[in-house]
Amino acid sequence: AQKVTQAQTEISVVEKEDVTLDCVYETRDTTYYLFWYKQPPSGELVFLIRRNSFDEQNEISGRYSWNFQKSTSSFNFTITASQVVDSAVYFCALSSGYAGNKLTFGGGTRVLVKP
């Protein structure tokens, strides 16, 4: 069975601090995709990034960066210099052929950025 674990349920920081969200996954497939989604208070989930299992190159996009380490089955997400607008719930997710291509979500991490 595939599984995604986000050990942190809530993180509270002061504006301009960096925030790192942890994600650990389990799958039997050798080919799979990992995603991060953001859910602001308005409710809809917004796609942030996708990574395939063969691409361990880490990426930086503006204030966001991702660290994919296949050896530890982790796909961590960092917000640099956080802003109040970053306050949201962040979900890590996994898709693989073994699970019939359905997306499995982690439990989510609520990030609260205080001014």
Contact present, 90 and 107 (Cβ < 8 Å) = no
Beta-carbon contacts of 51 under 8 Å, excluding residues fewer than 6 positions away, are 33, 34, 35, 59, 66, 68, 75
What CA–CA distance (Å, rounded) separates 49 from 10? Answer: 21
Please identify, using beta-carbon distances, which residue of 52 and 81 lies nearer to other proteins.
52
User: Is residue 72 a contact residue for other proteins (CB under 8 A)?
Assistant: no
Please identify, using beta-carbon distances, which residue of 44 and 115 lies nearer to other proteins.
44
Q: Which stretch binds other proteins (CB under 8 A): 18-26, 67-75, 76-84, 89-97?
A: 89-97
Query: Which of helix, strand or coil describes residue 32?
Result: strand
Q: Which of 23, 68, 92, 108 binds other proteins (CB under 8 A)?
A: 108
Q: How far is the CB of 33 from other proteins (least distance, A)?
A: 4
Site string for other proteins, 16-55 (x = CB under 8 A): -----------------x-x-x----xxxxxx--x-x---
Cα–Cα–Cα angle for 44, 65, 55, nearest 5°?
100
> Which two tokens mark 27?
């799958």
Q: Which residues bind other proteins (CB under 8 A)?
A: 33, 35, 37, 42-47, 50, 52, 89, 91, 95-97, 101-105, 107-108, 110
